[in-house]
Amino acid sequence: MVTKTITITEDAYRILKSWKQGSESFSETIRRKGKRRPLSDFYGILSKESGERFERAIMDMREKRNILHQEKRVKLKQAIKEHYHDLS
């Protein structure tokens, strides 16, 4: 197997070392930590109430983002209209 040498800071090394399990190599640790996990692995980590608060917060942020996006679209349309009116 081909190997590569990397340089990391001391604090990054401490974090990586703390993630190791048993006699696991650093390469095995990185592979394990970098592996995508199915969403089902996270089922049940939040209480129902926490999950509902989290969902409400996400919905509120999306609503605010949509309002800001719409406001930007209106301003852009107005700026374009004014620009082309000035060219007439």
Residues 21-59: pLDDT tens digits? 999 999 999 999 999 989 899 889 999 999 999 999 999
Average pLDDT on 62-69 reads 98
Tokens of residue 74, six digits: 């209106």
**Statement to judge: residues 32 and 3 lie in one domain:** yes
**Statement to judge: residues 30 and 51 lie in one domain:** no
Amino acid at 43: Y
8 Å CB contact between 26 and 34: no
Specify the pLDDT at position 29.
Answer: 97
**Statement to judge: residues 52 and 33 lie in one domain:** no
8 Å CB contact between 30 and 16: yes
**Statement to judge: residues 51 and 88 lie in one domain:** yes
Total-model pTM: 0.48
Q: Name the band, by pLDDT with cuts 50, 70 and 90, for residue 88.
A: low
Q: Which domain holds residue 76?
A: 45-88
Tokens of residue 29, six digits: 């640790």
Average pLDDT on 54-76 reads 97
Number of domains in the chain: 2
For the chain, give the mean pLDDT. 94
**Statement to judge: residues 57 and 28 lie in one domain:** no
